Structure 1
Amino acid sequence: MQTISEAEWEVMRVIWARKQLKSSDIIDILQEKFQWSPSTIKTLLGRLVDKKLVGTQKSGRAFLYESLVNEKDYQEKLIQDGLNHICQRKHASLLLKILKAMPMTKQDIADFQELLREKEVSTVGKVPCNCIPGQCRCDKEESHR
């Protein structure tokens, strides 16, 4: 997966939200929040095109920019890639911290409860460590919580 900078993320969020738009539209939207020059935003767009995350299509004298990657798929891949760098035994406690800090609706909570009921049938006695020996302290600690 191509990694992208914080600034490139901001550009991608605009493109994902609007599907297909001109650079001038992207510039107008981003300049409401950031003090970026039009040339900076065009540079970011160029990088995203080079990374094959954004495509262009000629429309008259302008170019239309559109995402070549699905937002949800990209976000899920990013999260999975991040989790791959963390001992599996720490995943649950990390997720709990994220959930505590996250605003949720009653429906969000109901969805989590349903998922937990489904997961309950396939629980394990102990989450296996997926680290290379020497990368964590699994052998020294009972759990990472």
Structure 2
Amino acid sequence: MKISTAESVIMGALWTREPLSAEDISAQVAEGQGWSEATVKTLINRLLNKGAIGAERDGRRYLYRPLLARAGYVEAESQGLLDRLFDGRLAPLVSHLSQARKLTPEDIAELKKLIEGFEP
């Protein structure tokens, strides 16, 4: 399932707290994005049509919750990035990031710990 950048902002709000009404989502994301409430509702409808979120009636409004797990989304997006830009290989991505941005000592320690976890 392909989620646009704008739609991912809505998903982020729902992954943080659920369920939320359209008004709650709008209050959380609209101002920071420069969106109207109508834009937020359009994005919600797109996500409903894609099956990424579900809705349940709560009186005169609907409450929305994610059906797409954040972990699954992050995995798919990460793999897509690796495939598109680095032929599916992780080492060139890490190399690029280390050259483009200064790695902190904490970053280096985390990477070493991850690598040690892969070694027999």
TM-score range, shorter chain: 0.7 to 0.9
Shift, 1:70, TM fit: 1.1
**Structure 2 residue runs without a partner (length 5+):** none
Deviations 1:2-58 (A, max 9, x none): 112221111111111112100000111112302211111101000001011011011
Aligned partner of 2:62 in structure 1 is 63
**Structure 1 residue runs without a partner (length 5+):** 122-145
Q: How many residues align?
A: 118
TM-score, length-normalised on structure 1?
0.69
Aligned partner of 1:114 in structure 2 is 113
Is 1:43 aligned with 2:42? Answer: yes
Q: Secondary structure at the match of 1:56?
A: strand
Aligned partner of 2:92 in structure 1 is 93
**Higher helix proportion:** 2
Shift, 1:99, TM fit: 5.0
Q: Residues 91 and 109 of structure 1: is their aligned pair in 2 closer, same or farther, counting only changes over 3 Å?
A: closer
Aligned partner of 2:31 in structure 1 is 32
Cα distance in 2 for residues equivalent to 1:103 and 1:55: 40
Q: Residues 50 and 35 of structure 1: is their aligned pair in 2 closer, same or farther, counting only changes over 3 Å?
A: same
Aligned partner of 1:133 in structure 2 is none
Cα distance in 1 for residues equivalent to 2:24 and 2:103: 31
CA RMSD of aligned residues (A): 2.3
